[in-house]
Amino acid sequence: MRVRRIADVPARPVESPEVKGVSMRVLLGQADGAPSFTLRLFELAPLGHSPRHRHPHEHEVIIREGSGTLSTPEREWELEPGVVVLVGPDEEHQFRAGSAGLSFFCIVPHAGHG
């Protein structure tokens, strides 16, 4: 069993030319003995964004704080605390923070953690 505080896990910047103001904390994963999934916390600075991307694995998202949008080629969804999202395999998507920033938990299979 592993129990820890979020604040004790260091945030690391996500560095890519297609990313603006994003950091990630790996809260639980393989190194902690989790057999299947990695739990991450993403924090987007005000008006920050992830890249527009797709990947072969699903991920589940729970909005923690702030507000923003989730964009796909088909539409855009408003995000706020309490909203949950399933991004399926190979679905193109991008998270964008509003003026107050955005943070969300993201669960991926270990093969999708990078």
- Give pLDDT tens digits for 87-103: 999 999 999 999 999 99
What CATH superfamily is the domain 46-114? Answer: Jelly Rolls (2.60.120.10)
Predicted TM-score (pTM) of the model is 0.94
Over residues 46-75, the pLDDT tens digits come to: 999 999 999 999 999 999 999 999 999 999
pLDDT of residue 89: 95
Q: What percent of the chain has pLDDT over 90?
A: 96
Pick 104 or 113 by higher pLDDT: 104
pLDDT of residue 85: 98
Return the SS3 of 40: strand
- Report how far residue 33's alpha carbon sits from residue 37's, in angstroms, rounded to the nearest whole number: 10
